[in-house]
């Protein structure tokens, strides 16, 4: 099955229709229909993805955007695998 709804994915898992691999920030211990799901940490290394931020040329990012960038950088540093 393919869906763009994260809630649908969690609900399907909650009713026993499968499993899903989700980033930890998307995990919730319940779904809207109150079916419980269980989280398991992956032991093997999980591939990473490079991300970037873009904004309109010539404009200055707002303070909130600059703060978000700093938080994202801090998080990415703390989650990098140790070589």
CA distance 83 to 65: 31
3-state SS class at 30: strand
In a domain? residue 47: yes
Angle (CA) 56 61 62, round 5°: 135
In a domain? residue 69: yes
Burial class (CB in 10 A: 0-12, 13-18, 19+), 6: middle
Domain hosting 57: range is 6-79
Looking at residue 67, what is its pLDDT? 92
- How many domains is the chain partitioned into structurally? 1
- Residue 53's closest CA among 40, 65, 67? 65
Task: Give average pLDDT by consecutive 10-residue segment, the chain, 83 residues.
Answer: 82 83 74 69 75 86 90 76 52
In a domain? residue 74: yes
In a domain? residue 64: yes
In a domain? residue 59: yes
In a domain? residue 1: no
pTM: 0.45
């Amino acid at each position: 099955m393919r869906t763009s709804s994260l809630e649908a994915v969690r609900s399907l898992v909650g009713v026993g229709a499968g499993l899903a691999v989700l980033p930890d920030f998307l995990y919730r211990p319940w779904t809207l229909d109150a079916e419980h799901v269980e989280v398991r940490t992956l032991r093997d290394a999980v591939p990473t993805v490079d991300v970037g931020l873009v904004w309109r040329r010539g404009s200055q990012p707002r303070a909130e955007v600059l703060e978000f960038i700093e938080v994202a950088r801090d998080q990415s540093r703390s989650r990098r695998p140790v070589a």
